[in-house]
Chains A and B, each alone.
Chain A
Amino acid sequence: MTILTFTLLLLAGAYLAGLVGSLTGLGGGVVLIPLLTLVFHVDIRYAIGAALLASIANSSGAASAYVKEGITNIRLGMFLEIATTVGAVVGAVIAVFTPTNTIAILFGSILLFSAGMTLRKKNQEALPVGSATANKLKLNSSYPTKAGEVSYHLKNVGAGFSIMTVAGIFSGLLGIGSGALKVLAMDSTMHIPFKVSTTTSNFMIGVTAAASAVVYLQRGYMDACIAFPVVLGVLAGAFTGSKLLSRIDARVLKYIFCTAIAFVAIEMIYNGYNHKF
């Protein structure tokens, strides 16, 4: 295979990864790592480097739209970024001492969990009264809906912060956004309305990924010639996805993709178990 064919194939693959990632809400990196390792037989370390870049591109691109609409809770994002960036740096350091097969197995498990999380029922209710910590940290806010501004309050800040640290560690270790864990912390634990938790999680993914990306860049995980088609492809795919999402009913697609992703996850775990990475 020449470099040109590889680049074009990867560009198409990354486009699909960005599209599926944005339609399911899983993010581009989650599809990209299996694509690079299982299909293109690229070393998982290069795949992690590329996936981190895809996460940053995706998050920054989408966040720019959400932030302007005023749905994202910037204070909450900033506060929780303490947890995710510390976690991400820890994850990036642990990664050196973790065998690639273990990373593949962990990745598969997180993938299964993420696919499951995508299909669960979402929290739409805004909490009327928050906890004392949430008040002290000024985390309560409001967001625009069709029926006007809705104010919401938070609770279980400490527990949410802890889950965020774990999300950060996985993000740094595996090169993914860990969107599912972030939503679990905000949505199910801190009782933030779904729309706010997804956009704020997306807003944070860029910073979290950047915290470990700088470490990986210095370690040589970021190969320019893989990064080039990946960044451009994922961005274009995510852009198409966001346009499609408002026009089609993505629910059926979501079920199909999540089932497909579950199979991919099992393949990653199986290959990791058999030391194929």
Chain B
Amino acid sequence: MKKIISKIHLADHDIEQFIGLQLRFGVLLSSFIVLMGGILYLMQSGSMPLPHYQLFIGQKAGLTTGREIWHSVTGMEAKGIIQFGVIVLIATPILRILFSLIGFIFEKDRLYIGITMVVLSVMMISIFGGLKV
């Protein structure tokens, strides 16, 4: 019994270490991309007057779908690069759920495989469910 407990603990600990690293890496990577895009943006249009942020334009401003953003990144457009960094940032905790799922599969913890799948499904509904109205 004691051996089993320590084994579970070890696996838990490994996953914790890995998730910690993954979160840190995600944040660092996204801030690097955002910084690069931001510098490019300031070099190109830093001296221009400010857009009217008191008015909300929303989707008409573009860069709201994966395709638009990717198109803009490959075209080396500053705003697209920043938005790509934003996507990496949002993806960081979502990836974390995926890694937790893998961890629970390794531990053969059926209950938590199920729970994690529920959280992941909610996330997928949010991404692909067309909830933007």
Interface residues of A, Cβ cutoff 8 Å to B: 1-4, 6-7, 40-43, 45-46, 53, 56-57, 59-61, 63-65, 67-68, 70, 72, 74-75, 78-79, 81-82, 85-86, 88-89, 92-93, 96, 137-138, 206-207, 209-215, 217-229, 231-232, 235
Q: Is the CB of A223 within 8 A of B61?
A: yes
If the complex has contacts A67-B23, A227-B86, are A40 and B53 also in contact, measured as CB distance less than 8 A? yes
The 3 A-B residue pairs with the shortest CB-CB distance in the complex, in nearest-first order: A206-B93, A220-B58, A4-B46
If the complex has contacts A4-B42, A46-B56, A85-B122, are A70 and B16 also in contact, measured as CB distance less than 8 A? yes
Total count of chain B residues near the partner, CB < 8 A: 71
Pick from A1, A89, A210: contact of B131, CB below 8 A: A89
Q: Is the CB of A3 within 8 A of B48?
A: yes
Residues of B within 8 A of A210 (CB): 90-94, 123
Q: How far is the CA of A259 from the CA of B12 in the complex (A)?
A: 41
Q: How far is the CA of A197 from the CA of B122 in the complex (A)?
A: 23
Q: How far is the CA of A1 from the CA of B93 in the complex (A)?
A: 36
Q: Is the CB of A43 within 8 A of B54?
A: yes
Q: Tell whether B75 is near chain A: CB-to-CB under 8 Å.
A: no
Residues of B within 8 A of A207 (CB): 93-94, 96-97, 119, 123
Q: How far is the CA of A223 from the CA of B79 in the complex (A)?
A: 9
Q: Tell whether B47 is near chain A: CB-to-CB under 8 Å.
A: yes
Residues of A within 8 A of B123 (CB): 85, 207, 210-211, 214
Q: How far is the CA of A207 from the CA of B116 in the complex (A)?
A: 12
Q: How far is the CA of A240 from the CA of B80 in the complex (A)?
A: 29
- The tally of CB-CB contacts under 8 A between chains A and B is 208
Q: Is the CB of A219 within 8 A of B86?
A: no
Q: A57-B27, A220-B58 are in contact. List 8 more A-B contacts (CB 8 A).
A: A2-B48, A41-B54, A61-B23, A85-B126, A138-B112, A206-B23, A224-B79, A226-B53
Q: Residue of A at shortest CB range from B55?
A: A43
Q: Is the CB of B56 within 8 A of A2?
A: no
Residues of A within 8 A of B111 (CB): 137-138
Counting chain A CB atoms within 10 Å of each CB, the highest count among B26, B78, B82, B132 belongs to B132
Pick from A67, A93, A217, A229: contact of B38, CB below 8 A: A229
B54-97 CB contact bits vs A (8 Å, 1 = yes)? Answer: 11111111011100000000000011101101110111111011
Q: Is the CB of A41 within 8 A of B53?
A: yes
Q: Is the CB of A86 within 8 A of B112?
A: no
If the complex has contacts A64-B21, A223-B53, are A78 and B82 also in contact, measured as CB distance less than 8 A? no
Q: How far is the CA of A19 from the CA of B93 in the complex (A)?
A: 22
Q: Is the CB of A56 within 8 A of B92?
A: yes
If the complex has contacts A46-B53, A46-B56, are A78 and B119 also in contact, measured as CB distance less than 8 A? yes
Q: Is the CB of A93 within 8 A of B56?
A: no
Pick from A82, A218, A221, A224: contact of B122, CB below 8 A: A82
Q: How far is the CA of A196 from the CA of B46 in the complex (A)?
A: 44
Q: Tell whether B4 is near chain A: CB-to-CB under 8 Å.
A: no
Q: How far is the CA of A205 from the CA of B63 in the complex (A)?
A: 25
Q: Is the CB of B64 within 8 A of A218?
A: yes
Q: How far is the CA of A149 from the CA of B27 in the complex (A)?
A: 30
Residues of B within 8 A of A85 (CB): 119, 122-123, 126
Q: Residue of A at shortest CB range from B101?
A: A78
Q: Is the CB of B48 within 8 A of A211?
A: no
A/B interface sample: 9 pairs, CB < 8 A:
A2-B48, A3-B49, A138-B109, A217-B87, A220-B64, A224-B79, A224-B82, A231-B31, A231-B34
Q: Is the CB of A68 within 8 A of B16?
A: yes
Residues of B within 8 A of A229 (CB): 38
Pick from A4, A53, A75, A215: contact of B126, CB below 8 A: A215
